[in-house]
Chain A
């Protein structure tokens, strides 16, 4: 659905210099500069990613509102984006995110067994965080690493051909 009169810029009654940190603002500005001046909202996805990274991996409503204010967007437009894309988490998460690919090639390569292993061994269902807060277990659709299935993304790193044993080693190394 594309609105007739997008983008709907909304000037928020906020001093932008009080939002985030100077470093995050500079980084968001770097993204904003890629797009036409009236299309600041094009930077909403990288902005949300940045802010999430600096907030322990999740986005609070306040942070989403701040992104809206920083980019002159209606809040609900930011909520729409944040709820649409799978990489944004709107609830607190563990210290790490463990995303296991469940799509066809990985499934044929053993991802179902891997996920069962994770559920039993770490007592955590997809979408949940381990009791010790070490990691949040997420089931992901195709990670695009099908040739070395099954693939697991731990935070920002891909691990391929993951077996239950290699997975355990991987987890052990995390803080």
Chain B
């Protein structure tokens, strides 16, 4: 079994469920130690950012961009308001990790955001939480109240002259707001439609001011990285793939759950932790990083380690760390039709290829699924997906295209069978 579980974002998990999320609990594991140190010592933010760079922490929301590098893009000493924004709009199918951070360890996120604010010169932060998360929102708001009451948020904190105000902003049901610039638009009271880049948020973000947006897990990792050192964090994982990471293992497994394990943990170990494939079936396929990444056949996955670089070698991406396990006997046409429906439904409607193309893909797939496919449909699907990917303002176009292309690459015979016979090769879903 994997050692060193729950060392970073889940470091309060061993505490009693009822009190796990409280300030006292967090303080009992050394919480707010780093924020207090920052307030007392006022270290040069550049040194903190260097520590983060050393840790090789990569964005946990899905893109995997090095967090320290992202922070270093901020014009820290430029005049004017700057913002730190946390992306808790967790909505990538298969992903349910940030919800647990918000529910079980909200203070660590607050501490991470405060430190981030200090590093990038932001005195105001917003945590954008998806609107459906009533319980996590309540937990986070409660934690904010405790932190303000304890003098850890607000003005002139601990007499340091440092200000940091943190607010919750609620979403209202739109996957696209997980895209960082759509999220900014949403905070600005608009539809969540991604902005084209440049300018990047570090130049012109929220309200036109320099802004850094990080995922919940990325920010919640920061206090522990500073406490134990960037080198420690790096050593937890692999070079260029620092630290432990939360994996949401869902789908056809016996014990689906979130696991915080070191990057580089072999997939088979993770599968074992989740109780193995459901009902003792064989492993058919895995979508290793949330629904937007290419599917990987089970046999390849069994020889792959769970880190950014290894999964890339296997032809997919680590993404958000959502590991969707698919058992033998599942109709892959049905799975893909489900995914295609999701992207068509969640396209913001802004860019032509995504607005028009995602619906097209979904319709063709559902037609095939219902026995009305044509042999030419498969090339069409592949070609249409290719005309969406890489052609849109944000990555939703790629996210819609990649599953289609990868499913056709690995499971084309199932599609052909359904088109030819009018019924699926595999009956289960």
Contact = CB atoms under 8 A, between A and B. Distances in A.
- Do any CB atoms of chain A lie under 8 A from CB atoms of chain B in the complex? yes
Interface of A: 1-2, 6-7, 34-36, 39-46, 48-49, 71, 73, 77, 80-81, 84-88, 99, 102-105, 107-109, 112, 140-149, 153, 156-158
A147 B189 contact: no
A41 B252 contact: no
B256 A148 contact: yes
A108 B429 contact: yes
Interface in B132-177: 132-135, 167, 169-175
B338 A42 contact: no
Interface in B50-99: 81, 90-96, 98-99
A145 to B, nearest CB: 6
Interface stretch (B3-11, B112-120, B180-188, B220-228): B180-188
A45 B287 contact: no
B27 to A, nearest CB: 26
A146 B188 contact: no
A39 B83 CA distance: 15
Contacts of B186: 45
Contacts of A148: 256
11 contacts: A2-B190, A34-B167, A39-B207, A40-B189, A45-B189, A80-B191, A85-B173, A102-B338, A105-B322, A108-B330, A144-B132
Given A84-B191, A105-B94, A105-B251, A112 B429 contact: yes
Contacts of A73: 189
A10 B225 CA distance: 47
A108 B93 contact: no
Nearest to B167: A34
A164 B188 CA distance: 41
Nearest to A48: B172
B257 interface: yes
Interface centre among B130, B190, B345, B350 (most CB of A within 10 A): B190
Nearest to B189: A41
B93 A146 contact: yes
A153 B132 contact: yes
Contact of B249 (A71, A85, A145, A147): A147
Nearest to B255: A147
Q: How large is the interface on B (under 10, 10 to 19, 20 to 34, 35 or more residues)?
A: 35 or more
A84 B291 CA distance: 22
A85 B172 CA distance: 5
A112 B427 CA distance: 14
B91 to A, nearest CB: 5
Interface string B248-265: 111110001110000000
Contacts of A85: 131, 171-174, 192
B328 to A, nearest CB: 13
Contacts of B192: 84-85
B193 interface: yes
Given A85-B171, A144-B90, A147-B257, A42 B248 contact: no
Nearest to B176: A84
B315 to A, nearest CB: 19
Given A104-B94, A142-B91, A87 B330 contact: no
Contacts of A146: 93-96, 248, 250, 256, 322, 324
Contacts of B173: 85-88, 140
A109 B170 CA distance: 28
Q: Can you list the 8 inter-chain pairs with the closest CB atoms, starting with the nearest?
A: A86-B173, A41-B189, A85-B172, A87-B173, A103-B93, A105-B250, A84-B191, A34-B167
B306 to A, nearest CB: 17
B251 A109 contact: yes
A73 B188 CA distance: 12
B342 A103 contact: yes
B418 interface: no
Nearest to B181: A2
A143 B132 contact: yes
Given A105-B324, A147-B250, A43 B189 contact: yes
Given A36-B207, A147-B258, A81 B191 contact: yes
B339 interface: yes
Contact of B193 (A1, A7, A49, A105): A1
B270 to A, nearest CB: 13
Given A2-B185, A108-B251, A156-B134, A147 B96 contact: yes
Contacts of A46: 169-170
B99 A144 contact: yes
Nearest to A138: B173
Given A87-B173, A107-B429, 18 more contacts: A2-B195, A36-B81, A36-B207, A45-B169, A73-B189, A80-B191, A84-B191, A85-B131, A86-B173, A103-B291, A108-B252, A108-B324, A108-B335, A109-B250, A112-B429, A141-B175, A141-B346, A142-B95
Contacts of A87: 131-132, 172-173
A144 B169 contact: no
Nearest to B126: A34
B313 to A, nearest CB: 24
A80 B190 contact: yes
B408 interface: no
